[in-house]
Amino acid sequence: MNNDNLARDLYYAASFSNVESLERILAQDNACNIINTVFVDDVYRPNGSALHEAVTNLNRDIAILLLKKGADVNIKNQYGATPLHLATKIVAINAFEVYLSDDGSAPVIVDYECEIQKLQLLLDNGANVNLMDNDGYTALHYASACGNICVVKFLLNNNADINITGKNTVVHSAAKNGYKDMVQFWLDRYPNMINLNLQDNDGNTALHLVAKHRFTILPHDVHASNLIYADYDDKCFIDVAEMLLNRGIDTNIQNNDGNTALHLALLSYSGLLDITHLMMDNLDSFLCRSIDLIKSLCKNNNVNFILKNNDSYTVLDLALAIEHDQHKIAEHLQEKRLL
**Higher per-residue confidence, 3 vs 181:** 181
Q: Same domain for 203 and 159?
A: no
Q: What pLDDT was estimated at residue 101?
A: 43
For residue 98, the surrounding DSSP H or E stretch is strand 98-100
Mean pLDDT of all residues in 165-180:
89
Q: Same domain for 5 and 87?
A: no
**Higher per-residue confidence, 162 vs 286:** 162
pLDDT(202) > 70: yes
Q: Same domain for 41 and 121?
A: no
Q: What pLDDT was estimated at residue 107?
A: 52
Q: Same domain for 192 and 295?
A: yes
| 3 state SS for 291-303 | HHHHHHHHCCCCC
How sure is the predictor about 282, in pLDDT bands with cuts at 50, 70 and 90? low
Facing residues of 109 across strands? 98
The number of domains in the chain is 3
Show Cβ contacts of residue 199 under 8 Å, excluding neighbours closer than 6 positions: 205, 253, 255
Nearest 5°: CA angle at 183, between 153 and 154?
5
pLDDT(216) > 90: no
Which whole-number Å values give the CA distances from 288 to 192, 230, 336, in the listed order? 35, 15, 19
Q: Same domain for 229 and 333?
A: yes
Q: Same domain for 187 and 281?
A: yes
Q: Which CATH number is 235's domain given?
A: 1.25.40.20
**Higher per-residue confidence, 234 vs 39:** 39
- Closest C-alpha to 30, from 65, 56, 64, 69: 69
* pTM of structure: 0.84
Q: Same domain for 44 and 93?
A: no
> Among 116-125, 131-140, 153-162, 328-337, which stretch is predicted with the lowest mean pLDDT?
328-337
226 vs 216: CA distance, rounded Å? 9
How sure is the predictor about 290, in pLDDT bands with cuts at 50, 70 and 90? confident
Q: Same domain for 197 and 307?
A: yes
pLDDT(42) > 80: no
Helix (H, G, I), strand (E, B) or coil at 109: strand
Q: Same domain for 330 and 188?
A: yes
Q: Same domain for 46 and 94?
A: no
The last residue of one of the domains, among 29, 51, 71, is 71
How sure is the predictor about 228, in pLDDT bands with cuts at 50, 70 and 90? very low
Q: Same domain for 241 and 325?
A: yes
- Closest C-alpha to 308, from 271, 339, 267, 263: 263
The last residue of one of the domains, among 151, 167, 183, is 167
**Higher per-residue confidence, 313 vs 219:** 313
Q: Same domain for 152 and 95?
A: yes
Task: Report the chain's mean pLDDT, rounded to a whole number.
Answer: 83
DSSP per residue, 12-61: HHHHTT-HHHHHHHHTSTTHHHHTT--B---TTS--B-HHHHHHHTT-HH
Could you tell me if residue 131 is left (phi over 0), alpha (psi between -120 and 50 degrees) or otherwise beta? beta
Domain residue limits at 36: 1-71
- Closest C-alpha to 66, from 4, 15, 130: 15
Q: What pLDDT was estimated at residue 114?
A: 77
The last residue of one of the domains, among 142, 167, 192, is 167
Q: What pLDDT was estimated at residue 53?
A: 93
